[in-house]
Structure 1
Amino acid sequence: MRNILAIALAAMPFAVAAPATAQVAPAAPVVAAPQLTARIEEVLTILKGGGDYDATFAPPFRAQVPREKFAAVTKQLTQAAGAPQRIASVRAVSPYAAVVTIACERAVATLQIAIDATAPYQVSGLLLSGVSAAEASVGAVDAALAALPGTTGFLLARLDDGGPKSIVARNADRAFAIGSEFKLVILATLVRDVAAGKRRWEDRVTLDGSERPAGGWARAAKGTQVSLRDLAAKMISVSDNSATDILLETVGRSQVEAMMPVVGIAAPARSRPFLTTAEVFKLKAVSALADRYLAQTEAGRRAMLAGEIARMPLSAVPSTLFADGKPVRIGELEWFFSPSDVARTLDWIRRASASGPAADVRAILAINPALPPATASRWTYAGYKGGSEPGVMAMSWLLQAKDGRWYAVSGSWNDSAKGVDEMRFASLMQRAVELAVP
């Protein structure tokens, strides 16, 4: 399961120095160096299909992002937003770094750019941090989602004491394959344990050396220790699959399954047994194994998971499993929640984390808000989780407005025939969050 909005061309850290004392006068506005301004115009030209790639980008950047890879992302951007047209705004972070918005035919793209501070002042970092669609209302966003191929669902809800109250909804109670959004239920189970004093964020898990799916602990040595906080942070912020499976094993499959109705999953049976990412990959990789698994009762499936599926090495899953971009049994082998289910889960986490040690989960959800900075700044709080695989995309936010009220935005898109346009979906969902500000 992949984390969406990992559309970065290259990482670009921004450092902001704190003032020395409270009495320091307000800093003068940061002004972009002329070399930065020139490079921004060159990047726009390259996005339009012209320019000199090698002259604009520094060698270390080109080593990470060859011209072909850049062209592929440019094509994806153009498909989602239309042709890039002009620089809409530049906000300098330093003389040699800025946040740039580019007006495209159907959307606005946000880029973070940095150049070397010495000649020849080439671009050393570039991050596509968001694409905001041009729709003028949340209803128009939902209409655009409805027009996508396959099936979509959407919900904007206000979170009151009595639970989510729908503001805009379509197919909100329909269950979709949701990719990595299933990890919210694991997180909720951990939050419940922390709130009850059964676990602490600082508790450490000792790994047994087992091979795990991709992530920071995929091949961690036996005896490696990692805190629950680190596992949860990586599971949510970068959708680390190794962290996910470790946490699921730690809190217990049965406990996570019992948690589904508690957080408000309307049809929990469809996601039982609650699979690890490794189990899903194994089943999707071997068609005959999947056929036998799906033919079983729930008890029979649990027996297979504990037996032959557990014994099957992860190395038997080909690295090319999703390489062709085609959906693989997304209607059968997945986790199935509706937008309303996800909103209720986020609301449960919100209420459970209002105070005490469980409150730390809010910082975890906010590590990667998956929003352009300008949109995120319009909310007091933005927590996020999404998920995707070929044919599947889901994005959901827990949001607090500046007046203190809470909201949830959740959307899902399934297409069993072909891969979905992730950037287009992301641009629409981000626009919904922008427009939902009360």
Structure 2
Amino acid sequence: MAILAPVAVAAQSAPPLNAADAAPAIAVDPAVRSRADALIPVLAGKPGYATLFADSFKRAVPEARFGPLTQQLRTTLGEPRGIERFEPIGRWAATIVIGYDRGTATGHITLDPAAPHAIAGLLITGTAPRDDSAAKVQAEVAALPGTAQIGVYALDGSTPAPVFETRGDGPGPLGSAFKLWVLAEAARQVAAGTLRWDQVVPVGTPSLPSGVLQSWPAGSPVTVQTLATLMISISDNTATDTLLTLLGRDRVDATAATFGAIGPVLTTREAFVIKSDPALVAAWSKGDAAQRRALLAAQASRIAGTALDPMMFSAGPLANDSVEWFARPRDMARLLAALKEAGPIVRGILSINHGVDPVTAARFDYVGFKGGSEPGVIALNLLARTKAGRWYAVSGSWHRPDAAVNEAKFLPLVTRALTLMTEGR
């Protein structure tokens, strides 16, 4: 899943989402801070664009485009006042928090290593108002078109306790976040001694990206832990299908059911094949669980042999209100609480991709993440431990069957909800 931003001003890729975990190998060059400070008046609409940015940036983001983007930030947040936080990432890059009158903008800045060290990359990854509150986040979520949900839950006791939630008791589509069910069943089987993390298995039938295993040679040997790691960290669909098949659909269904799911749990290939055929969509939509299992059995050879179309989602949402995986935010919080207790390997897998920017991640002792998206769906699930040692789960989703959703608008809302947990807790 791609993580975007409310305003993306970029000429090159942002650093990895978990870059804050590793200390830079060498000290940051002073030019990075100098250029970050020089960025403030340019963000305010003053001259300087021509000399501050590298030619590569100016080709990717011409001044005619840059100006309206920075104006959008000023309209939302007021005037920029300075760099409030500066965290180096290697010698020529840093994560910065830019202070505005009414809020902050978090971003990544990257310099050209060649003199005069102009800014080659700038990516705004999130914004937040000053004096933020749960009520503000909830109001913004409730105002989104379609159906949007969010819940923040304290994991201190045996049952997640809502800190605040909006539509937390209604099921929403998960996209790739269903892979947390598969991870939970893998962890259960390892704990039961019927599976080992280092067990070697062949890669199964390829699915569509995201991921990398779909292009590996058929039957390539991988470990169970490798499959789980790729499934969660880069949302590898082929890894997911291979692992789900290894674990057994009935057992994955049973685990998913304990966290509010109604089976059968589709593999990604099954979902893609069904979504691509209106007749199968109709049959799936009107069927109960038993009828859906019968449909999968009857279509097994077709599902295995169909050539998947990588452009199948190019026209917009496809049956995302029926051929999907569904759960309530409350149930996702219970699932995250169970995964928290599943051991260091599971927690490590969840934390490879933090799902939030490095500055936000650095406010916590631990952040684990799994999201999901497709046209018309975004789902974000975070497990976090504060510096004070308290655990929280944040689960949010936004769904429209008729149009795309703006991932760049939803991620900051979930990030803000998570950040609120560090204030006085």
1:388 aligns with 2:378: no
C-alpha displacement at 1:365, in angstroms?
0.8
- Aligned AA (1:91): F
- Aligned AA (2:265): F
- Cα distance in 2 between the residues matched to 1:311 and 1:53: 57
Give CA deviations for 1:154-181 in whole Å, capped at 9, x if unaligned.
Answer: 2221113321112212311100112111
Give CA deviations for 1:42-92 in whole Å, capped at 9, x if unaligned.
Answer: 698489799768983465x79xx9449x969x8699499947853533525
Residues 154 and 314 of structure 1: is their aligned pair in 2 closer, same or farther, counting only changes over 3 Å? farther
Aligned to 2:296: 305
- Cα distance in 2 between the residues matched to 1:139 and 1:415: 23
- Cα distance in 1 between the residues matched to 2:132 and 2:167: 21
Q: Contact 1:82 / 1:105 at 8 angstroms: preserved in 2?
A: no
C-alpha displacement at 1:123, in angstroms?
3.9
Aligned to 2:53: 56
Range moving further from structure 2, 81-90 or 329-338:
81-90
Q: Contact 1:398 / 1:409 at 8 angstroms: preserved in 2?
A: yes
Residues 422 and 114 of structure 1: is their aligned pair in 2 closer, same or farther, counting only changes over 3 Å? same
1:366 aligns with 2:351: yes
Residues 135 and 288 of structure 1: is their aligned pair in 2 closer, same or farther, counting only changes over 3 Å? farther
- Cα distance in 2 between the residues matched to 1:426 and 1:4: 8
Corresponding residue SS for 2:213: coil
Q: Contact 2:154 / 2:392 at 8 angstroms: preserved in 1?
A: yes
- Cα distance in 2 between the residues matched to 1:196 and 1:81: 56
Give CA deviations for 1:283-332 in whole Å, capped at 9, x if unaligned.
Answer: 222222312333444334323323435424776443332224x3222211
Residues 385 and 250 of structure 1: is their aligned pair in 2 closer, same or farther, counting only changes over 3 Å? same
- Which of 117, 121, 141 is matched with 2:117 structurally? 121
- Aligned AA (1:323): S
Instruction: Note the 1:6-85 alignment, pairs <5 A.
Output: 9-12=12-15, 16=23, 33-34=30-31, 37-38=34-35, 41=38, 45=42, 56-57=53-54, 59=56, 66-67=60-61, 78=72, 82=76, 85=79
Give CA deviations for 1:239-289 in whole Å, capped at 9, x if unaligned.
Answer: 122221121112121111011233x32xx32xx221111111222222223
Residues 239 and 390 of structure 1: is their aligned pair in 2 closer, same or farther, counting only changes over 3 Å? same
1:196 aligns with 2:227: no
Aligned to 2:317: 327
- Cα distance in 2 between the residues matched to 1:180 and 1:189: 16
Corresponding residue SS for 2:226: helix
Corresponding residue SS for 2:180: helix
Q: Contact 1:175 / 1:336 at 8 angstroms: preserved in 2?
A: yes
- Cα distance in 2 between the residues matched to 1:142 and 1:419: 21
Q: Contact 2:35 / 2:119 at 8 angstroms: preserved in 1?
A: no
1:345 aligns with 2:345: no
Aligned to 1:274: 265
Aligned to 2:249: 253
- Cα distance in 1 between the residues matched to 2:364 and 2:202: 38
C-alpha displacement at 1:33, in angstroms?
2.9
Corresponding residue SS for 1:193: helix
- Cα distance in 2 between the residues matched to 1:395 and 1:235: 15
Q: Contact 2:54 / 2:112 at 8 angstroms: preserved in 1?
A: no
Instruction: Note the 1:84-123 alignment, pairs <5 A.
Output: 85-86=79-80, 87-89=82-84, 91=86, 93=88, 96-103=92-99, 108-123=104-119
C-alpha displacement at 1:106, in angstroms?
6.7
Residues 361 and 300 of structure 1: is their aligned pair in 2 closer, same or farther, counting only changes over 3 Å? same
Aligned to 1:405: 390
- Cα distance in 2 between the residues matched to 1:106 and 1:78: 13
Corresponding residue SS for 1:152: strand
Q: Contact 2:36 / 2:83 at 8 angstroms: preserved in 1?
A: no
- Aligned AA (2:84): S
- Cα distance in 2 between the residues matched to 1:95 and 1:342: 39
- Cα distance in 2 between the residues matched to 1:405 and 1:184: 22
C-alpha displacement at 1:126, in angstroms?
4.5
- Aligned AA (2:327): F
C-alpha displacement at 1:110, in angstroms?
1.8
Gaps of 5+ in 2: none
- Aligned AA (1:335): W
Q: Contact 1:81 / 1:107 at 8 angstroms: preserved in 2?
A: no
Residues 287 and 425 of structure 1: is their aligned pair in 2 closer, same or farther, counting only changes over 3 Å? same
Residues 240 and 127 of structure 1: is their aligned pair in 2 closer, same or farther, counting only changes over 3 Å? farther
Backbone CA RMSD of aligned residues: 3.6
Q: Contact 1:5 / 1:370 at 8 angstroms: preserved in 2?
A: no
Residues 76 and 42 of structure 1: is their aligned pair in 2 closer, same or farther, counting only changes over 3 Å? closer
Residues 199 and 103 of structure 1: is their aligned pair in 2 closer, same or farther, counting only changes over 3 Å? same
Give CA deviations for 1:186-223 in whole Å, capped at 9, x if unaligned.
Answer: 01001111222222222222125x33221211132123
Range moving further from structure 2, 403-412 or 114-123:
114-123
- Aligned AA (1:321): M
Aligned to 1:292: 283
Residues 52 and 167 of structure 1: is their aligned pair in 2 closer, same or farther, counting only changes over 3 Å? closer
C-alpha displacement at 1:18, in angstroms?
6.9
C-alpha displacement at 1:151, in angstroms?
1.7
| Structure-1-length-normalised TM-score | 0.81
Corresponding residue SS for 1:385: strand
C-alpha displacement at 1:96, in angstroms?
3.0
- Aligned AA (2:390): R
Give CA deviations for 1:311-368 in whole Å, capped at 9, x if unaligned.
Answer: 24776443332224x3222211111100001000011112232xxxxx2111111111
